[in-house]
Amino acid sequence: MKKLTDLYEKMISEGSLEDDRGQRVILEELENVDYAISKSKAKSLFFKKADNLKGLYIWGGVGCGKSMLMDLFVKNLLVSNRRVHFHAFMQEIHTSLHEARGLGKKDPLAVVANKVIKNFKVLALDEMQIKDITDAMIVGRLFTLLLDGGVKIVTTSNRIPSDLYKDGLNRQLFLPFIDLIEKQLNILNLASKIDYRKNKLRGAPVYFSPLGSESKNNLDNLWIDLSGNENQDFHLIVNKRKIKFPFYSNGVAKFTFFELCGENRGPADFLAIVDNVRVLIVENIPQLGRSNFNEAKRFITLIDTVYEAGIVFICSAAAQPEYLYLDGEGVFEFERTVSRLNEMQSDSWGRSLVLSD
């Protein structure tokens, strides 16, 4: 087994990383967890010596490398593990709970937790945030069951634990979960002053027109640069409907125009999508007008949602914003969209919000 610090040094020597003191502090803690778990497995006494080993809660600002360090940790593990976005994990839990209740199980949450315990020794959860009261009301007991079952948890977040579910409904019922995290996980702040993914977009164009091989290549290259060319399985449930993300990685999502606006989506769908990304890439926006008026209306709503959220918007389109919608009902309304599309191309727009890791 290679040491995490050796892998980190190799990435620096290859030029894919800058040496970062804040990252090294977190890396040492991850290496301690990695070593203890692997040592226990090697002696076939899994977690006998690691029972008292705490998991990790790594929090810090956007783009500082939390997810990168966690990915390095997970790839080096010698035991069964699961690396998943926190929101996607909780959606899976709710789906499994529904199935367990349908089977008449006496304690559905225990059944669901036991399935996770059986399959994974380490659970790596990216971007922990609690916004949904249904998550808030079960996550405390869920984590208690997982931790009591021997699952080691490593998670990243933008927030210190005390700020989770801040101002949420019935937050007093959620507070025991914060206490649990603070007792069972080591709380580590990744104090890097470098926003690495912000740097990747600095000065780069984000609007590519006209459509063609050049704009496609530019968009593909940005996706690869921002995502590391890794695609994670991710979906949302909105009003009992599933929204599948065709491409998603650590807060970066890529859709085609018709995957977003060609289907019957409303404001709630766009709000849910935007709420879960820091960068939204949209490919192949066509010329808009009378022939695709409904799609144009959805696109207007999408851009309004993106603009209000302040996230980075990258796209390829048939024409520059001023020439996208020239004929048909809604031309006047589209002027606001033109203005927002132009503003979101500015160097300062959303760059401090690029990613949440």
Residue 46: what pLDDT?
45
**Do residues 130 and 168 make contact, with C-beta atoms less than 8 angstroms apart?**
yes
DSSP H helices in the chain:
4-13, 21-42, 66-76, 86-102, 108-119, 133-148, 175-184, 196-201, 213-227, 257-261, 267-275, 293-309, 331-343
Cis before 210 (ω within 30): yes
Q: Is the pLDDT of residue 139 over 60?
A: yes
Residue 188: what pLDDT?
94
For residue 51, how many other CB atoms are within 10 A of its CB? Answer: 9
Residue 356: what pLDDT?
37
Distance CA 122, CA 124 (A): 6
CATH code for the domain of 280 = 3.40.50
**Do residues 89 and 126 make contact, with C-beta atoms less than 8 angstroms apart?**
no
Residue 354: what pLDDT?
44
**Do residues 247 and 253 make contact, with C-beta atoms less than 8 angstroms apart?**
yes
Residue 119 and residue 255 in one domain: no
Q: Is the pLDDT of residue 49 over 50?
A: no
* Domain housing 126: 4-189
Q: What does pTM read for this prediction?
A: 0.67
Q: b vs e for 126-163, b when ≥16 Cβ sit within 10 Å of the residue's Cβ? A: bbbbbebeebbebbbebbebbbeeebbbbbbbbbebee
pLDDT band (50, 70, 90) for residue 1: low
Instruction: State the total domains in the chain.
Output: 2
pLDDT band (50, 70, 90) for residue 323: very high
pLDDT band (50, 70, 90) for residue 200: low
Residue 182 and residue 225 in one domain: no
Please give the average per-residue pLDDT across 124-129, as a whole number. Answer: 90
Residue 209 and residue 315 in one domain: yes
Q: Is the pLDDT of residue 346 over 60?
A: yes
pLDDT band (50, 70, 90) for residue 48: very low
204 φ/ψ sector (left φ>0, alpha ψ -120 to 50, else beta): beta
Q: Is the pLDDT of residue 351 over 70?
A: no
Largest CA distance in the chain: 72
Residue 350: what pLDDT?
57
For residue 118, how many other CB atoms are within 10 A of its CB? Answer: 9
Mean pLDDT of the chain: 86
- The 10s digit of each residue's pLDDT in 268-298 is 999 989 988 889 999 999 999 888 989 999 9
The residue that leads in pLDDT, 196 or 67, is: 67
Nearest to 169 by CA among 142, 139, 131: 131
Distance CA 121, CA 47 (A): 9
Question: What pairing do the DSSP bridges indicate for beta strands 252-256 and 247-249?
Answer: antiparallel
Residue 177 and residue 205 in one domain: no
Q: Is the pLDDT of residue 352 over 70?
A: no
Comparing 69-78, 224-233, 319-328, the range with the smallest average pLDDT is 224-233
CATH code for the domain of 131 = 3.40.50.300
- In the Cβ-directed half-sphere of 193, how many Cα atoms lie within 13 Å? 1
Give the domain-ending residue among 164, 189, 214.
189
Give the domain-ending residue among 125, 156, 189.
189
The residue that leads in pLDDT, 15 or 26, is: 26
Residue 164 and residue 254 in one domain: no
Residue 145 and residue 243 in one domain: no
Give the domain-ending residue among 189, 204, 224.
189
Residues 6+ apart with CB under 8 A from 200: 225, 226, 354
Hey, what are 46's tokens?
């899994």
Residue 52: what pLDDT?
67
Residue 86 and residue 214 in one domain: no
Residue 64: what pLDDT?
77
What's the per-residue H, E or C state across 170-235?
CHHHCHHHHHHHHHHEEEEECCCCCCHHHHHHCCCCCEECCCCHHHHHHHHHHHHHHHCCCCCCCE
Please give the average per-residue pLDDT across 123-128, as a whole number. Answer: 92
**Do residues 83 and 74 make contact, with C-beta atoms less than 8 angstroms apart?**
yes
Residue 162 and residue 265 in one domain: no
Residue 158 and residue 284 in one domain: no
Question: What pairing do the DSSP bridges indicate for beta strands 235-238 and 241-244?
Answer: antiparallel
The residue that leads in pLDDT, 309 or 198, is: 309
Residue 32 and residue 141 in one domain: yes
Distance CA 287, CA 318 (A): 6
Nearest to 218 by CA among 299, 317, 286, 310: 317
Q: How far is CA 167 from the centre of its chain?
A: 22
- The 10s digit of each residue's pLDDT in 208-255 is 999 999 999 999 989 988 887 778 888 888 877 889 999 998 789 999
Residue 46 and residue 172 in one domain: yes
Residue 156 and residue 257 in one domain: no
Distance CA 53, CA 36 (A): 8
